[in-house]
Amino acid sequence: MAEALLVAEELEAGYGEVQVLWGVCLRVARSQLTAIVGANGAGKTTMLRAIAGAITPWRGRVMFEGRDVTRLAANVKAARGFALVPEGRQLFNGMTVDENLELGAFSERASRGAARRLDEVFGLFPRLAERRRQLAGTLSGGEQQMLAIARGLMSDPTILVIDEMSLGLSPLLTYQLFTMLKTLRQAGLTILLVEQNVHLALAVSDYAYVLAEGRVFTEGPPSELEANPEVRRAYLGL
């Protein structure tokens, strides 16, 4: 079994008095693509926020590279190599493509080799290179998602975490972005993907978790999940 880079143990979290996660356990292997799938309201985004430090877990533990990071702030985790591409992109719309990418390399860790990584992300996303002086807010939805992912890559991540990558995108752009994920994974980057498009998520992942009502409904290699009658009926429409 591949080395675990990120581990969540018995994670519980919520907002105010409303509990969303109930004892969730997660293991992300190094240099693999792990997917979290499930319906709206399953707790996928809350799980990412608790892991990334955007909210503090009520109970449980988050381990990253063998260290307990449960209580660390999001910016501290980012400086250690944890890159979150949030749902809705959350770009700086009044800044150019170049400026958004520069902000992705704000940490001391990321500032080293930033010029090289800028060339790499422009190689990965040629369309961004063509629009590098264009304001982020004037880009198409697909281009904005490319920029959000590229900004995450500029931080020199040990793990890239992406929340709902295909949301609001055309089928063609969705396919292109999933193809890009395969390229990054083949290059050795560890990726954690939260995604509503179960078919595509299972097609590119090495391992997957199905969340339902804040709990892990089932987990396993994609081939096993696709053969599971309950998963096929509830999530694959078969």
Write out pLDDT tens, residues 82-110: 999 988 788 999 999 999 999 999 888 88
* Sheet (strand 33-37) strand order: 82-85, 159-163, 190-195, 33-37, 207-212, 215-220
pLDDT band for position 112 (cuts 50, 70, 90):
confident
Instruction: Specify the pTM.
Output: 0.93
213-233 pLDDT tens trace: 999 999 999 999 989 888 888
The answer to whether domain 1-81+196-228 has CATH 3.40.50.300 is: yes
What's residue 91's pLDDT? Answer: 94
Domain positions in the chain are 1-81+196-228
Predicted confidence (pLDDT) per residue in 14-48, tens digit: 999 999 999 999 999 999 999 999 888 899 999 99
Task: Copy the structure tokens of residue 121.
Answer: 């992300």
Q: Could you report the per-residue pLDDT of 10-20, keeping only the tens digit for each? A: 999 999 999 99
- Between CA 117 and CA 101 the distance in angstroms is 10
Please check the confidence at residue 65 and state whether its pLDDT lies above 60.
yes
- Percent of the chain exceeding pLDDT 90 equals 76
229: which residues sit within 8 A by CB, 6+ positions away?
A: none
- Confidence class for position 1, pLDDT limits 50, 70, 90: low
State the DSSP code for 3.
Answer: P
Q: Which residues contact 4 (CB under 8 A, 6 or more apart)?
A: 27, 28, 29, 30, 63
Alpha helices in 81-238 (DSSP H): 97-104, 108-111, 114-124, 126-130, 141-154, 171-186, 198-204, 222-227, 229-234
Per-residue model confidence as pLDDT tens digits over 185-216: 999 999 999 998 888 999 999 999 999 999 99
pLDDT of residue 237: 63
CA distance 88 to 164: 8
Per-residue confidence at 111, pLDDT binned at 50, 70, 90?
Answer: confident
